[in-house]
Structures are given as structure tokens and as C-alpha cells.
Amino acid sequence: MSDTYARRAAELDRADGLGVHRKKFVLDEGVYLDGNSLGALPAHVPARMADVLAREWGELRIRSWDESGWWTAPERIGDRIAPLVGAAPGRIVVGDSTSVNVFKAVVAAARLAGEGRDEILVDATTFPTDGYIAASAARLTGHRIVPLDPAEMAAAAGPRTALALVNHVDYRTGRLQDLPGLTAALHAAGALAVWDLCHSAGALPVGLDEHGVDLAVGCTYKYLNGGPGSPAYLYVAERHQAAFDSPLPGWNSHADPFGMTPGYQAADGALRGRVGTPDILSTLALESALDVWDGVAIEDVRAKSLALTDFFLECVEAYVPAGRVVSVTPEAHGERGSQVALRCAEAPAVMAELIRRGVVGDLRRPDILRFGFTPLYVGFADAERAARVLAEVLADVPAHLPPAQV
């Protein structure tokens, strides 16, 4: 049976129009399915960073803020990310971490919502930090948190709702939330929509402008391959920019940053989302990494992502004995991100052994095996091999045996 799927994988890889991009990345002989945690290194980035270190910092030094374009990097890179998430230029600024940008977005949205709206709806299944930040923002602004499943938010939004903070793709299950529908429902209730795009940007079309999203945040080290700890980004819809009131005003977001005046006057546009001096080394590594997206249509990426995850699930069903794993990732394409999550009672032991055998995914305790599919460098042969090795590992790991005994 494995020969049948291996032949199909080879045929699919030969027909894959995105397969040519694989050579742009530093990859080994294994199967890397953890790009939803940390994207692979684009092969040209080390040379770019060597130039940044030796010439821009080493030779030009302070002159590089102007001569090398360091000063304008946050908005310049934001404009490069914009097409990948469906935004026009001037609406995204790069900098700080996702957590910091969540704080900016939630507080700013609470202020934009106005008097009488004291509820913040928070995705109850959210990545934990989003919940922590939202709770702190609520304490600071006098709001209260209402944790809900995203499917319940549309019905729950009402005259007291200021905003909802939602993860576009659930980090555990890979479920894709209904961004257009929920955003429209929140607006109908007079509330704002704040979306976390960490597990969707670079994997599927988002349509921030098209669907009227108010504010959004995201990281760049997953599907955008910006490198460990690469700066995050903040999206501010054009209609909100003039009133966007950041809770972290800094000299970098001042209308006259070098005026050094004691009073704060916000810059125009999304630049209001800047705070302090940007991390130039990580920022420029990200800018270089984004070169891999030149000439790539996000719609093609989405089509391959769905084909890859479909094929992987088919191989898992064919290879793995019934009952050893159960997919918790939705089957419907409209409800699936670019990962597959499998519930497995022996997940910690199984993932450790998968990695030892060259198939790198990751684990979400207590029992979730996560496999991220990054279409620019993951192929169908990778998907088939991962499923086959998973079956081999499960054959060697006794069912329901506590990991410590394996």
C-alpha cells in the first residue's frame, strides 16, 4: 500500500507549481512539519545579514539609519506583508512582539468603542498569552472579559460589547474561524473586531481590508519565515488611524520624533503603532526573508496547503491502525488552517520518537500531535513519509503506555 501512496506523492510533487521554491530554504534530509512554530531559514538571509553586520553596522554605523533605510524599515516591511494578509499599503507597521501588539490593539479598540461598552469578548480557546494580555488590558481600561468559543461570539455581541479578540486559526486544532462572518456580526452589534493572524498569515488569504477588520496583529516567524523572535506587526484599518490611541506612545510614533518635545503628538497613519527603537537586526532579517514571496500568490499557497493536508490525512488513515490517532482538525476546507492536529494518548513519546527518526512536528500537551504544512517548502513526499513513519512509531510504542515507561 505504501508504494501506491509514494507513487501518488511523486506525481503530485512533479505537478506542483510551488515546488520550485523549496530550493530557496535551508533544509536537511528529514521532514520539517513545524513551520507553524518556526519557519525554515531562507538560504539567502545569512549573506544579507553578513552585509548588515559588516557594512551597515560595522562601516556606516549611525549613518545607516538614513543611508541604509533603517529608519523606514518598520513601515516598508509592513507594506511587503500587506498583500499576504489582504491590506493596502500604509496600514501595517512592523515592530515589537505579538503580545505587545495585542496589548496596543485591545486597549486602542476599547478606546475606539466609546462609552457604555465595557465588555471584551475573548476567544476561550485562544493562545494563552492573548488571554493574559486581554485580561490586563481590561483591568487597565475598566472593562470585563467574557470568554467564549468563537462560534458563540456573534450571538453574544450586544450593546455592551466593545470588541472581540479572536485567533484566526486555533493553535491546537488548526480550526479556521469565520473571519468575514464574525467581523460582520460584531460590526452589526456596534463592536470592533481584533484578529490574531499568527497561524494564518502566509498560509492562506486573510482579506483584512475586504472584510472590514478593525485591528489585527501577527507574528512573522511562522509561515513568514522571519526567524526566531522576528518582530511582529500591527494592522490598523485606514478608517481608524486618525483616532487610533496607542497605550504605548513612544518617541518612534511621535509626529516629530527628533523634536524631543515633552508633549506627545501622534504621527499620522499606522506609524502610531510604533513605540521605541526597532530591533534592526531581526527586522532586516525579516525583510530579507520576505524575498521568498516574490512572485508567489497566496491563493496558490492555500490551494497547495489544502491538498497537502488532505493527502496527509488520507495517508494517516491508510497507514495508522484504527483508534491510535484521531484528527481534531476539521475536514471541511473552509474550517481548516494549514496544520493537522492528531489526538494520541501516547503523544509525548510518539513525537519524541518521530523527531528522532527525522520527522519534526510538535506537541501540545497532553495529547495533541501537531503537523504544520508550509507549502513553499513542504511537498507531498514529505506528507507521505511523515504518515508512514508515524505508523511505524505507533507500532513500536505500546498503546496507552505512559511516556515515562517508553
The residues annotated as belonging to the active site are: 127, 196, 221-222, 370
Annotate 2-29 with DSSP letters as a single string. HHHHHHHHHHHHHT-TTGGGGGGB---S
Distance between CA atoms of 124 and 56, rounded to whole angstroms? 45
**Which residues, listed in sequence order, are joined to residue 201 by a DSSP beta bridge?**
none
> Which grid cell is 14?
512533479
Q: Which residues make up each annotated binding site? A: 98-99, 127-130, 196, 199, 221, 251, 277
Distance between CA atoms of 250 and 241, rounded to whole angstroms? 16
Phi and psi (nearest 5°) for 386?
Answer: -60, -45
C-alpha triplet 156, 161, 167: angle, nearest 5°:
70
Q: Are 90 and 79 in contact (CB under 8 A)?
A: yes
- Residue showing cell 497537502: 308
Amino acid identity for residue 79 in this structure: D
Sequence-separated (6 or more) residues with CB below 8 Å from residue 268: 241, 242, 255
Computed on alpha carbons and rounded to an integer, the radius of gyration of the chain in Å comes to 22
Backbone torsion region of residue 400, taken as left when φ is above 0, otherwise alpha when ψ lies between -120 and 50, otherwise beta = left
Burial 15-38 (b: 16+ CB within 10 A, else e): ebebbebbebbebeebbbbbbbbb
Distance between CA atoms of 102 and 92, rounded to whole angstroms? 14
- For residue 60, give the DSSP letter: I
* C-alpha dihedral, 243 to 247 to 252 to 256, nearest 10°: 50
Q: Which residues make up each annotated binding site for pyridoxal 5'-phosphate? A: 98-99, 127-130, 196, 199, 221, 251, 277
> Which grid cell is 10?
511523486
Distance between CA atoms of 387 and 392, rounded to whole angstroms? 9
Neighbours of 52 (CB within 10 A): 21
